[in-house]
Amino acid sequence: MEMPAPNPTILAKKAELVRRLSEVLPEDAVIHEETETRAYECDALTAYRCPPLAAVLPASTQEVSDVLRICHDLGVPVVPRGSGTSLAGGALPTADSVILGVARMNEVLETDYDNRFIRVQTGRTNLSVTGAVEADGFFYAPDPSSQLACAIAGNIAMNSGGAHCLKYGVTTNNLMGVTMVLMDGTVTEIGGAHLDAAGLDLLGVICGSEGQLGVVTEATLRILAKPEGALPVLMGFDTNEGAGACVSDIIKAGVLPVAIEFMDRPCIEACEAFAKAGYPMCEALLIIEVEGSPEEIQHQLGLIKEIAAAHNPVDYREAADADEAYRIWLGRKSAFGAMGQINDYMCLDGTIPVSALPEVLRRIGELSKQYGLGVANVFHAGDGNMHPLILYNANQPGQLELCEAFGADILRLCVEVGGCLTGEHGVGIEKRDLMVDQFDPVDLEAQMAVKDVFDPAWLLNPAKVFPLASSEARRAVKIAAE
Amino acid sequence: MNMRPETEAELAELIAGRDAPVWIRGGGTAGIVPQGTDVIETSGLNGISLYEPGALTLVVKAGTALGEIEATLAAEGQRLAFEPADLRAVLGTDGAPTIGGVVAMNVSGPRRIQAGACRDFLLGVRYVDGLGTAVKNGGRVMKNVTGYDLVKLMAGAHGTLGVMTEVSMKVLPLPEAQGCVLIDGLSPDDAVAAMSAALGSPYDVTGAAHLTEGMDGTPVTMVRVEGFGAQVDYRTGKLKEMLGRFGDVRVETNTDRVTVGWGYVRDLTGFVGAKGDLWRISVKPSDGPEVLRAINATKAQMDWGGGLIWAVVPEGSDVRSQLGVAGHATLVRGVGQARFHPETPVNARLAEGLRAKFDPKGIFNPGLMGAN
């Protein structure tokens, strides 16, 4: 993955930049010593690193506005950062950019149970949003697996999902309003505590725009009453087709579980070796969770059992209590840790139509042999969001490149069967150069035209999402303007 | 002049060669298209391209009649969960609503409070922009963050950004049963308090509305639940218990009668024939009663727990200046005032910028949204 060469004119402005930033921010909020900027050199896509020119940690919308206005005046690119948990390189800086971290803005501004929303500063972590309301019986639904660390700002930038979005939707379905600062420092409010914003759905296009349209500093989020209870069921199958057909039949029967997770044999074996959850050894395993009162749960599990029986599961286990539920989830929740024990891994998140599952798994298996790299699949089966984990050795020269080439082939396969490159992680730099496999030039042009409106100088996170060749002319404008 | 292209290519060619304004019409049931203007009819672009019930996915040409889609889904025990309204009776229009029109206006009924709006069920679009370029965005899968979400932008844009040719949607299973708890005679304040309690419960309420005049002419507050039969019995029972402090609670568990009752709310049946301007007002639910007091409505109902107010007011009333709370008001039936609520200067500038990019010649539905 290539990043544009740093602009020497901008590098030469460092002293002026730091001086002006220091005029609007407290001393400890402007980080510019090389030993310290290194802390911001990467996000969770750690294979790519580059310390920024400087990093700033504003504590208010006004400070964010001041920072952006200064960077805009000086023509310095800005890379917004939540908690830096992006798997796609969304917060990867370039040497001529300023990292704008929102971590100091983590307050709850308003909690309103009568109207079922919470308003927070966006540096707040995902899990602590739920933490602020759970004692009163409420929760915030999107639950990315990094939820302990990831910030709402990053969730909005990437339109993050999670395991429970089959029922509750992803970030965009739970976001009611934002306070956003444009690159020139203008502050605007979009949406709010009412259910639909006036005019064009600006909120819809801001969510998932990977920090390229503005910096969201405050968010109004929908909160929901916690269900009375939830229980998972685990079932094993001796073919991927059997498991896939079972998922499809459950959905067709009108049961709408909150989560349907799928694991293939390599994943089951690795998880079992790591977590010893007592999983059956089989080709495919499903974990399905339903919610409601005890009677409602039993009723839904009864229906699911009847449907599953028609697909001859080799194992079927219902959780009778919280402890058994914990054991059923244990292996799945340790999947990533289990892979990390075996080797380095790369996690993809292409989405496919559920009906294409058996074919895609078969072809991933073939590609695995061809590349000589192992792969394990764990999958949000209800919504088709795959998570192939490719195993490689980062210390062996050439393996990262081989792994990336294998990953690119898997993502192209997802597109070929009617799916997409990324279901919840975002494009960032990781899938940037594959965008041409999913979109025609006119499709990308329409998206870039949106950025032209919000950020005419292309200073916000400019080297992401769009292939460098596609965005080159637009990014060149600011360089020419030096 | 009426143009009725039958393929996306034909539509693209027609737009590419055009500099004069043109109105886009699906079924013409919203009553928006002025008389005597040039019109592109989308009804020539019709048919279901793909329907996979097991994947909850529907891909359909934008000019397809909503009725045809709903019948196809019903045959597989599924539905459009955002519950689009049929406002033909109240607007005095006829014709067949199209899915493209529903999406362009982001038409979302009572279930929006729980399931989401039309835009939340829209997975992908194909459209032709103002220069005649055919563009796709999104796709047919449920989770997709690949590139910017122009899908949401097209929903509710009222055709000002492009002419949609195909949409992909997430559909959901029809529940086995529906139930409703009803309380008679509540004031708007008590009604919103009751609806808030219900919506803040774990019983997955899929509708919460208050009619200042129900079918029998007196106020009624309605709370709906849906699911398996036993589940609906359990949840209506729990809600009855919980809402008892607001008044006498009746429970209706006959699914057909519940369907009819919520159709009455959704389609504004009680408003048919009421003289005056019809407004749609979106506010924070707890602000609903205050708005009702402020606007002097001759006929009104609150949906979405109080957050969506439908009101008939004397012709020419300036509802927007009377609101007094954050939110916005759309003139759905009436003349002499702009249809849409003015946006803040910054948001108006962004919207104007987007329209200028998507429709540089400014030919689509001129003046419908924004300043010109």
CB contact under 8 A, B146 and A383: no
CA dihedral A307, A309, A314, A317 (to 10 degrees): 70
The CATH number linked to A214 is 3.30.465.10
Write down which residue in A225, A249, A277 finishes a domain.
A225
Select from A119, A134, A196 the residue whose CB has the most chain B CBs within 10 Å, as the one to mutate to test that interface: A196
For residue B120, which residues of chain A lie inside 8 Å, CB to CB? 169, 172-173
The two beta strands, A344-347 and A375-380, are unpaired
Same domain, A350 and A418: yes
Same domain, A375 and A398: yes
Select from A155, A171, A201 the residue whose CB has the most chain B CBs within 10 Å, as the one to mutate to test that interface: A201
A45-82 burial, b if ≥16 CB within 10 A, otherwise e? Answer: beeeebbbbbbbbbbebebbbbbbbbbbebbbbbbbbb
CB contact under 8 A, B353 and A453: yes
- Contact by Cβ (8 Å): A98, A13: no
Q: Within a domain: residue A347?
A: yes
pTM: 0.97
Same domain, A190 and A205: yes
Q: What is the pLDDT of residue B29?
A: 95
* Three-class secondary structure of residue A468 per DSSP: helix
Report d(CA A422, CA A411) in Å as an integer: 8
Please tell me the distance in Å from A9's CA to the nearest CA on chain B. Answer: 30
Q: Shortest CA distance to A438 belongs to which of A422, A415, A468?
A: A415
Query: What chain B residue is nearest to A156 in terms of C-alpha separation?
Result: B145
Write down which residue in A280, A308, A335 finishes a domain.
A335
The CATH number linked to A245 is 3.30.70.3450
CB contact under 8 A, B341 and A353: no
Region of residue B317 (phi > 0: left; psi between -120 and 50: alpha; otherwise: beta): beta
Q: What is the pLDDT of residue B247?
A: 96
Select from B146, B192, B235, B287 the residue whose CB has the most chain A CBs within 10 Å, as the one to mutate to test that interface: B146
B2-173: which CATH architecture?
Answer: 2-Layer Sandwich (3.30)
Structure tokens at B237: 């029972």
Please tell me the distance in Å from B327's CA to the nearest CA on chain A. Answer: 6
Query: What chain B residue is nearest to A172 in terms of C-alpha separation?
Result: B120
B100: number of Cβ within 10 Å: 31
- Contact by Cβ (8 Å): A205, A450: yes
- Contact by Cβ (8 Å): B199, B150: no
Domain that holds residue A323: 230-335
A362: number of Cβ within 10 Å: 12
CB contact under 8 A, A199 and B340: yes
Q: Within a domain: residue A358?
A: yes
Total tally of structural domains belonging to chain A: 3
Report d(CA B62, CA B285) in Å as an integer: 33
CB contact under 8 A, A194 and B112: no
- Contact by Cβ (8 Å): B290, B281: no
pLDDT string in tens for chain A (482-residue length): 899 999 999 999 999 999 999 999 999 999 999 999 999 999 999 999 999 999 999 999 999 999 999 999 999 999 999 999 999 999 999 999 999 999 999 999 999 999 999 999 999 999 999 999 999 999 999 999 889 999 999 999 999 998 888 889 999 999 999 999 999 999 999 999 999 888 999 999 999 999 999 999 999 999 999 999 999 999 999 999 899 999 989 988 888 899 999 999 999 999 998 889 899 999 999 999 999 999 999 999 999 999 999 999 999 999 888 899 999 998 888 888 888 888 899 999 999 998 898 899 999 999 999 999 999 999 888 889 999 999 999 999 999 999 999 999 999 999 999 999 999 999 999 999 999 999 999 999 999 999 999 999 999 999 999 999 999 999 986 554 44
- Would you kindly state where each structural domain of chain B is located, as residue ranges? 2-173, 177-266
Residue B196: which of A114, A193, A426 has the nearest Cβ?
A114
Same domain, A158 and A190: yes
Report d(CA A466, CA A470) in Å as an integer: 6
For residue B230, which residues of chain A lie inside 8 Å, CB to CB? 295-296, 299
* Three-class secondary structure of residue B28 per DSSP: coil
Same domain, A192 and A145: yes
What pLDDT digit, counting tens, does each position of A126-167 carry? 999 999 999 999 999 999 988 999 999 999 999 999 888 888
* Three-class secondary structure of residue B94 per DSSP: coil
Question: Under CATH, what is the fold of the domain B177-266?
Answer: Alpha-Beta Plaits (3.30.70)
Distance of CA A422 to the CA centre of its chain: 9
Q: What is the pLDDT of residue A478?
A: 59
Please tell me the distance in Å from B94's CA to the nearest CA on chain A. Answer: 26
Same domain, A159 and A237: no
Same domain, A237 and A210: no
Residue A226: which of B57, B202, B344 has the nearest Cβ?
B202
Report d(CA B370, CA B351) in Å as an integer: 8
The two beta strands, A78-81 and A98-101, are parallel
Residue A205: which of B135, B152, B328 has the nearest Cβ?
B152
Please tell me the distance in Å from B149's CA to the nearest CA on chain A. Answer: 5
CB contact under 8 A, A385 and B174: no
CB contact under 8 A, A421 and B344: no
Handedness of CA B227, A112, A180, B354 (dihedral sign): positive
Q: Shortest CA distance to A311 belongs to which of A225, A403, A238?
A: A238
Cα end-to-end distance, chain A, whole Å: 27
Question: Which amino acid is residue A302, in one-letter code?
Answer: G
B372: number of Cβ within 10 Å: 8
For residue A352, which residues of chain B lie inside 8 Å, CB to CB? 141
Q: Which residues of chain B have pLDDT under 70?
A: 371-372
Q: How many CB pairs under 8 A join A and B?
A: 259
CB contact under 8 A, B141 and A384: yes
For residue A257, which residues of chain B lie inside 8 Å, CB to CB? none
B114: number of Cβ within 10 Å: 19
For residue B370, which residues of chain A lie inside 8 Å, CB to CB? 199
B108: number of Cβ within 10 Å: 29
Structure tokens at B260: 């009819």
Q: What is the pLDDT of residue A334?
A: 85
CA separation, residue B69 to residues A24, B76, B167 (Å): 57, 11, 12
CA separation, residue A326 to residues A138, A288, B87 (Å): 22, 13, 49
Handedness of CA B357, B363, B365, B369 (dihedral sign): positive
Q: Lay out the sheet containing A344-347: strands in order across.
A: A315-318, A230-237, A284-291, A259-264, A375-380, A385-392, A344-347
B244: number of Cβ within 10 Å: 11
Write down which residue in A275, A302, A335 finishes a domain.
A335
Q: Within a domain: residue A3?
A: no
Residues 6+ apart with CB under 8 A from A443: B135, B136, B137, B147
Structure tokens at B211: 């009619």
Report d(CA B290, CA B284) in Å as an integer: 11
Residue A200: which of B153, B193, B199 has the nearest Cβ?
B153
- Contact by Cβ (8 Å): A210, A86: no
Same domain, A257 and A365: no
Q: Within a domain: residue A174?
A: yes
Report d(CA A32, CA B154) in Å as an integer: 42
Alpha helical stretches, state H, B180-338: 188-199, 229-243, 255-266, 288-295, 319-322
For residue A431, which residues of chain B lie inside 8 Å, CB to CB? 146
Q: Shortest CA distance to A146 belongs to which of A90, A78, A228?
A: A90
Cα end-to-end distance, chain B, whole Å: 22
Query: What chain A residue is nearest to B152 in terms of C-alpha separation?
Result: A204
Q: Within a domain: residue A166?
A: yes
Query: What chain B residue is nearest to A246 in terms of C-alpha separation?
Result: B54
